[in-house]
Amino acid sequence: MSDVLEPEAWLARFARDADAAGFRVAEFGRVGGAPLLAAERRPAKPLMHIYLSAGIHGDEPAGTLALGALMERRWFDGAIAWHVLPLLNPSGMAAGTRESREGIDLNRDYLAAADPGTRAHRAWLRAEGWRYDLTLALHEDWESRGFYLYELGDNAGRCFGPEIVRDVEAVIAIDRAAQIDGYPASDGQVFPPEDNPEIRDRWPEQLYLREHHTRLALTLETPSAFPLAERIAAHIRAVDAVMRLARESQGA
Ligand SMILES: [Zn+2]
């Protein structure tokens, strides 16, 4: 498997799999030749509303491939309302670059919205006024020595981080450094300071979602230096763990 996926063909296949799994696939924007896709499925009385996104950095294919694999195997729980946005930066993925083809780090663009893709994404979120119980963003990190995560907000006072790490450890190493990305960290969980100068004016997707659309925002990071299959398996294991915890927190 190549580390760089060909976005248009991949997205066409994702859309077919989503359709077969009963999702409605909407195109909320177009960047270069590739669509920005959101797959949606909502039961009449959903237990929760969950959002999953990946591929906002074009050099991080594992999250996108994990969401594609989950869609293909029809993993998504029928009691829950879902939005799945598998590839937020198709131009970056085509080129294998972190940034979009405009040279913008989309995951620092949610306040300024300088990139047309970010503007389209924000407009889509705002138009429907989506409110999520939980948003998950799947990422990768070239410098990390294992899996780690960020947790922003809470689910009725409950933190998911430690239990996710415990589950993921079965399939991949955990980065247990005391500092990750320049922030204090412990047992695979990163704790950025409240007033974070790195992102004060350069909001990541999850900060924007936490501010406007979700109660709990989780960012999952796999180590890019590890084999791709292991990173995909780690994302799938983490998403599985989150689902189990989310259902437990609903008493379901
Ligand atoms: Zn990333």
Q: Give per-residue pLDDT as tens, 149-161.
A: 999 987 667 789 9
41 CA from centroid of ligand 1 (Å):
26
Q: What is the mean pLDDT of the chain?
A: 94
Domain ranges (residues) in the chain: 7-249
What is the chain's alpha carbon radius of gyration, rounded to the nearest angstrom?
17
pLDDT digits (tens, 9 = 90+) for 79-116: 999 999 999 999 999 999 999 999 999 999 999 999 99
Region 31-46: what's the mean pLDDT?
A: 94
Residues 6+ apart with CB under 8 A from 117: 29, 31, 36, 88, 89, 91, 100, 106
Torsions phi, psi of 98, nearest 5? -60, -45
**Closest C-alpha to 82, from 24, 16, 12, 165:** 24
pLDDT of residue 156: 65
**Around 34, how many Cα atoms within 13 Å sit in the side-chain half-sphere?**
27
pLDDT bracket for residue 50 (50, 70, 90)? very high
60 CA from centroid of ligand 1 (Å):
6
Q: Which residue type occupies 73? A: R
CATH homologous superfamily of 7-249: Zn peptidases (3.40.630.10)
Per the CB < 8 A criterion, the answer to whether 15 and 49 are in contact is no
Q: What is Dmax (Cα atoms) for the chain?
A: 45
44 CA from centroid of ligand 1 (Å):
34
147 CA from centroid of ligand 1 (Å):
13
pLDDT digits (tens, 9 = 90+) for 185-235: 999 999 988 778 788 889 999 999 999 999 999 999 999 999 999 999 999
Region 48-56: what's the mean pLDDT?
A: 97
pLDDT of residue 195: 79
